[in-house]
Amino acid sequence: MSLTKSRARRAVRRAEHVDFEGVKDPRERGRHNHQGLLRLLVVALASAKRALRAVESVGDDLSRTTLRKLGLTKAPSDTLLYQLLATQPLVGFAQVLVRQVKTALLHKHIENDLFEEGVVAIDGKAVWSGIFAADPHCREQTENGRTYHVLMAQRACLVSSSARPCVTQRLIAKSAGEADTFKLTFGFLMKNFRRSFEVITHDAGGVSRENARLVNEAGKAYVFAVKGNQPRVHMAAQSRLGCKENDGDAARIGETFTQERVDGALLRREIWRCSVQADDPEIEFAGARQLWRVRQTATRTLPGGSVEHTVEDRYVISNRVFSAQKALTLLRLHWGIENGPNWTMDVVHGEDAGSPCRNGRGVAVTSWLRLLAYNLVSMWRRKLPPRRDEGVATWERACATLERALYFDRMDLVTLA
């Protein structure tokens, strides 16, 4: 299949329509349009460029027509881009991301095609780690005698869509954790995306009784993992559903399972469920209706022919009654935030490797631009026809073809690699 000019123009229009209204220009004056500079950064990051010198090269290679569509008359230097990132205020970026996602929902570039009710997964993600504090929100950590600094963000992803777009993020303060930040993130989601989701999922790190109450009172469903940080609920779930040392209790409860092959291992996931009564003294989560136990067994054949089995049990609490099949689907969808934006940010966009600007608020600003870039690529990838040996087009191929789409007016026809 060929990438025609009409398809390429649609890709450029999506970049052109990223609206940075409300994001303040830190410069008193400048030769380059502020929104144009930010759009160029987004499209270059979407093309998997990691360094500002590479962003400058993208600007140099774009035609004057495409530059004008982005809001520029000429390509900026990497020095100018560095200075902009270092001084750029963060106010307004959250709403830029909201407008991008809402526009895509309106035009059905993003749909709840994997789970009709809509599911948002929330998870923490390091957007910077290094030997110095590159942002005021960085926290100091020590591991194996080595001290380093980490900037954490809590991100929300619409995992019920095959595009898996990020819908918001919030930097986690030094003195706060994921559970503390959840209230602000959930409030933002309710204000801006109330109609787009019905279920919130979170791993154990962000779970608390207060957060369960917030979700339940908002009329939404929570699917929360529970571990030792919620000892009463965790112990109750183990007692009622069984654990590795006590499988006899679980044997009498109905079960279902799914199987898939991932990275050469056969994964089998089984689920057991039990009901929770409204006045249950051991379960203090508002509206709780079900406890789940999910056992994941990974079977892998090692060199030499021996077989290795790895077993992991997880426990989950929910305020809705889901069928066993839907429960497994929801858990699989939650992992979509790890396999989608988190993995892509680190491996494709190089978030784990560092930031192109480490002064001022450069790291935090870059994290917002990377989210906008990721959404741009994810929507492009969703419509990209896969090769014969691919179930879905790879992220690397999606970035490469999107980059070529930016140069559409310099080519008559571009063949997809």
Domain that holds residue 59: 2-93+357-415
DSSP 40-61: HHHHHHHTT--SHHHHHHHHHH
Q: Residue 370 and residue 376: Cα distance in Å, rounded?
A: 10
pLDDT in the model for residue 267:
85
Least trusted range by pLDDT, from 116-125, 135-144, 327-336: 135-144
The answer as to whether 181 is a domain residue is no
pLDDT at position 251 over 80:
no
Mean pLDDT value of segment 344-358: 89
The pLDDT of 294-307, averaged and rounded, is: 85
Report which of residues 280 and 222 the model is more confident about.
222
Predicted local distance difference test score (pLDDT) of residue 413:
41
Question: CA distances (Å), 209 to each of 182, 206, 229, in order?
Answer: 12, 10, 11
Residue 396 forms part of a structural domain? yes
- Nearest by Cα to 87 from 25, 19, 45, 21: 25
Rounded CA gap, 158 and 117, in Å?
11
290-302 average pLDDT score:
89
160 lies in a domain? no
155 assigned to some structural domain: no
Q: 209-247, pLDDT tens digit by residue?
A: 999 999 999 999 999 999 988 999 999 999 998 765 445
- Rounded mean pLDDT, 245-255: 48
Q: Please check the confidence at residue 162 and state whether its pLDDT lies above 60.
A: yes
Residue 56 in domain: yes
- Say what the pLDDT of residue 2 is: 58
Q: What is the mean pLDDT of residues 400-404?
A: 88
Q: What is the pLDDT of residue 245?
A: 47
Instruction: For CA atoms 202, 204, 206, 212, give the dihedral sign.
Output: positive
Note whether residue 142 is domain-resident.
no
pLDDT at 173: 87
Number of separate domains in the chain: 1
Give the pLDDT score at 149.
92
391: pLDDT strictly greater than 80? no
H helices, E strands: number in the chain: 15, 12
**Does pLDDT of 389 surpass 70?**
no
User: Strand pairing partners for 318?
Assistant: 223, 290
Residue 1 has pLDDT above 60, yes or no: no
Name the E strands within 83-131. Answer: 119-130
Angle at 194 between CA 16 and CA 104, to 5 degrees: 20
Q: Report percent pLDDT > 90 for the chain.
A: 63
Model confidence at 133: pLDDT above 70:
yes
pLDDT at 128 (0 to 100): 92
Percent of the chain with pLDDT over 70: 93
Predicted local confidence at residue 30, as pLDDT: 85
Arithmetic mean of pLDDT over the chain: 89
pLDDT at 125 over 50: yes
The residue that leads in pLDDT, 315 or 391, is 315
Q: What is the CA radius of gyration of the chain?
A: 23
Is residue 343, in this structure, part of any structural domain at all? no
pLDDT of residue 3: 66
The model's pLDDT over 15-64, given as tens digits with 9 standing for 90+, comes to 888 999 999 999 988 899 999 999 999 999 999 999 999 999 999 999 89
- pLDDT band at residue 411, thresholds of 50, 70 and 90? low
314 lies in some domain = no
